[in-house]
Amino acid sequence: MPSFSNLDDRRGCKNLTIRSVQSTQRMCAAPLMALAAVFALVQAPLSSQAAGEKKLEVFSWWTSGGEATALDALFTVYNKQYPGVEIVNATIAGGDAAQRALHTRLAGGNPPDTWQSHPGWELLGDYVEPGYCQPVTDLYKSDDWDKAFPKALVNLITKDGNTYAVLVGIHRGNVLWYNKKLLDKNGIKVGEKMTFDEFFAACEKLKAAGIPALGVGDSGIWASALLFENTLLGIVGAEGWTDLFSGKMQWSDPKVKEAMKLFAKMQDYLNPDHSTLSWDQAVKALMEGKVAFNSMGDWADGEFLKAQMKEKEDFGWVSYPGTDGSFIIVADGFTLAKGAPHPEAGLAWLKSIGSKESQEAFNPLKGSIPARIDVDRSKFDAYHQWSMDSFANDKLVPGCVAGEAAPAAFRQALNDAVTTFMLDKNVDNFAKALVQAAKESGATK
């Protein structure tokens, strides 16, 4: 598996605990482009393309209201910086469906110019190892990018000394959102931290009032897998998280089973229609006061902003129970396809999204914080300020559901195991399935 080692480089803060993804014997080396050729592409003027080639296809799964608005902000900056290029917005709703479609295109030799990817296992295992990406290392040698992007983050998108993506934003996965007016009406107060006991006490009070406490939209089961992921972190902590994904702790450990039992208990408080809703529909249910809480990464904040909800008046947030002091990283980046139809436009896109202008335009709308450390913080709201402080000071761990901490085979097995567990609540079978999945997928060695 990729090894993770302590690094001392994040936004000027010490004690960084996220472990950078490194190459392993299990991963085959992807074909690499000569750096000189990359440099030539980076420096080539976009206007040198033939008129028929002034096009850019951007592939992502950003289709919800907040996501689409944020993506459009990137397009606006790109059009300003590189006018005259036609942008093909190749979005497909749903991360799993989008990635299946993308893999089909890549395997068939029909890549988009650039596509959305998470760092770590997803980028390096799914796209770099098969040779689908071109390295863009030289981008980080120009415009002082080596100073603007923390080395710890760049390490997550680097293999064998070559960097394969540009990160545009960093999400925090372990957030618990709540409808403040609904909680106030029911006499429930949320402080700066929340324990599991406090959370379940609130759930009981809401249940007695006939209100589903926890809103989930798991028509894509990953949302429930994320709920389990956050619960797991709340029990094992950042150190235990590291031990799990390194193989030092087993998925049958008593602490893991404790998290599974709490996850089972939460099923008693879900909205009855959870299996028919998407994640953003569940966030909308929270905004409408149909549910009180929602466990979701801070891409949910983009939905609140799009709906013009007011911070700390209409909605609030707190670290997911037990996870205060930890930050699950769910970073978003874009690649450059090997054999991209419009390579100059693709590289221009990466240069654009890595710019300070783009990151200051995109992240306030998306709910994420910039990957760059030199942005103007005054342009960001209270939630973003809170997240920036958490990123700078808390223990950072790579997300599993997002594809950073484990290979695709394990993530799929986790989704399948969560689906079964939500029906049978059998802790031993859940643990056994994950132990087996870790062995078979190579997630731990």
Please tell me what DSSP assigns to residue 214.
B
Please check whether residue 67 lies inside any domain of the structure: yes
How far apart, in whole angstroms, are the C-alpha atoms of residue 39 and residue 139? 8
CATH number assigned to the domain comprising residue 54: 3.40.190.10
Residue with tokens 């089909």: 104
- Taking only Cα atoms into account, the Rg of the chain, rounded to an integer number of angstroms, comes to 21
As given in the structure block, the two tokens for residue 229 are 């992921």
How far apart, in whole angstroms, are the C-alpha atoms of residue 386 and residue 435? 36
Is there a single domain that holds both residue 319 and residue 273?
yes
The contacts of residue 308 (CB under 8 Å, 6+ apart) are none
For residue 370, the enclosing domain spans 35-172+330-398
Please check whether residue 338 lies inside any domain of the structure: yes
Please check whether residue 245 lies inside any domain of the structure: yes
Beta pairing, strands 55-60 & 114-117: parallel
- What is the model's pLDDT at position 23? 34
Is there a single domain that holds both residue 278 and residue 419?
yes
Cα 294 off chain centre by: 17
Phi then psi for 171, rounded to 5 degrees? Answer: -95, 155
- Provide the number of structural domains found in the chain: 2
Is there a single domain that holds both residue 233 and residue 185?
yes
Is there a single domain that holds both residue 407 and residue 311?
yes
- What is the model's pLDDT at position 5? 35
Is there a single domain that holds both residue 391 and residue 406?
no
Please check whether residue 7 lies inside any domain of the structure: no
- What is the model's pLDDT at position 242? 96
- What is the model's pLDDT at position 142? 84
- What is the model's pLDDT at position 1? 33
pLDDT digits (tens, 9 = 90+) for 171-227: 999 999 999 999 999 999 999 999 999 999 999 999 999 999 999 999 989 999 999
Alpha carbon of 203 to those of 90, 166, 188: distances in Å?
Answer: 41, 41, 10
Alpha carbon of 366 to those of 297, 302, 338, 442: distances in Å?
Answer: 11, 5, 28, 33
| Sequence-ordered alpha helix ranges (H) in 308-381 | 343-353, 356-366
pTM higher than 0.75 = yes
- What is the model's pLDDT at position 48? 40
- What is the model's pLDDT at position 445? 54
- What is the model's pLDDT at position 127? 97
Is there a single domain that holds both residue 195 and residue 314?
yes
Is there a single domain that holds both residue 219 and residue 285?
yes
Is there a single domain that holds both residue 94 and residue 123?
yes
Please check whether residue 18 lies inside any domain of the structure: no
Is there a single domain that holds both residue 195 and residue 124?
no
Residues of the chain with pLDDT under 50: 1-51
Is there a single domain that holds both residue 414 and residue 269?
yes
pLDDT digits (tens, 9 = 90+) for 240-298: 999 999 999 999 999 999 999 999 999 999 999 999 999 999 999 999 999 999 999 99
Longest dimension (CA), the chain: 67
Please check whether residue 321 lies inside any domain of the structure: yes
Is there a single domain that holds both residue 184 and residue 280?
yes
- What is the model's pLDDT at position 400? 96
Q: Cα–Cα–Cα angle for 68, 74, 78, nearest 5°?
A: 140
Cα 144 off chain centre by: 26
Please check whether residue 15 lies inside any domain of the structure: no
- What is the model's pLDDT at position 95? 84
Alpha carbon of 46 to those of 49, 84, 217, 354: distances in Å?
Answer: 6, 10, 43, 17
Is there a single domain that holds both residue 56 and residue 156?
yes
Please check whether residue 234 lies inside any domain of the structure: yes
How far apart, in whole angstroms, are the C-alpha atoms of residue 238 and residue 398? 10
